[in-house]
Structures are given as structure tokens and as C-alpha cells.
Structure 1
Amino acid sequence: MMAKLKKIFEFLYYIIGNIIQIFIVVVFVDFLCHRFKEWMIDFYVATNCNYRTIDSMFVILLVSAILIIAFGIARYIWFKFRYLKRSKQLKRKSKVNEKN
């Protein structure tokens, strides 16, 4: 019973993690694609044409993009090497001795 609950929890954790990751990427891409020009004009006016503040916002955007990519790579590695091994879906390749 506990083993089944553990498998269900692992599956739900993986699904919820993917949904959260997709949501973050969609919001980030939507922000960059559709509202970037409006955001730049509003932010430029709000900061009284302070380029240093705008540069720091670009750094924050870059860091958030790097974190999203790193999180996705870490989840892929975890899924491939930990989850698939535990559920015995990933098997090591054995060398086959061929007779000539």
C-alpha cells in the first residue's frame, strides 16, 4: 500500500513540477514577446531616463532565464537517472559477446 502511494506521489510530483515549469516559461516568453516595448517605455519614464536601472533589470531577466534553463536541465537529469532507475524503466546496456 505504501509503495503504491509512494509511486503515485512521485508521479504527481513530476507532473506538478512540469506544469509549474511550463507556466514559468510561458509567462516569461509572453512577457518578452508581447509586452516588452510597453514595459520599456513605462519603465524608462518611471525611472526618469535612468539607464543604470534599466541595465539592472536586464541582468535580472537574464538571471531568471538562466535559472529556468538550469531548473529544466536538473529536472531532466533527475528524471532520467533517478526516477527511471527507481521504477526500473532504465536498464544498463550489457555487452554481448558475439561469436565469429
Structure 2
Amino acid sequence: MFDRQDGYYVTKGVQEAVPYQLKYFCWQLILQRAKEKDPTMDYLQIIEFDVGTEHELLTIVHRQEKTEVKQIYHLHLFAEYRSLNVKKIWAIDDGQAQTMLLPEEY
């Protein structure tokens, strides 16, 4: 899963709602797991965002449901992330392409 070197796509919803640096970071999280050749890696990767202005942190939870795996990251809350309205994105590998989308775009 997610081991192709080409065919990475984002939907219009993700393109418009998620800053470029954050999309790039999310792809890197997914590709790092793929590089580790984890046989339990699922075709559906879930990334959740929580903007915490109190501690100036953006919390990112990267997880999957089948063979439950969860990793948590904390990033400095840069100005472009403060207005992030997206709570969750999915990345799906259908064997032909890898696509990042909002759940409501499925």
C-alpha cells in the first residue's frame, strides 16, 4: 500500500481547504509508513486535525482502523493553520492511484 512513486492526487476539497505544507506533511507521514514495509498497512489512512490555540499546537493523529495503528504528532500552530476548518482527511490507495480526500467527498 502507498508504495507507488507516482499517482498522488488530492481532491478539490483538500486542495482548497488544507494548506500546501500540511498536505505535504501528511503525505510524508503516509509514505514513511509505506517505506517501513509494514504488512499491516491498510488502503485507508485517516488523518485528524485538532487546532489547539491555548498551547499554540496543531495536533495531528495519523491512524488506520483495520489492524489499528495510531501515531500522534504535535506541530507549532503557524498562522496559516489557525483557520483550518478541516477536522479529518482520508488517503486511499486503490491500487491505481493514491488520493487524499475529505470524507464527505467519498
**Bigger CA radius of gyration:** 1
TM bucket normalised to smaller = under 0.3
TM-score of the superposition, structure 2-length normalised?
Answer: 0.25
By percentage of residues, which structure has more helix?
A: 1
By percentage of residues, which structure has more strand?
A: 2
TM-score of the superposition, structure 1-length normalised?
Answer: 0.26
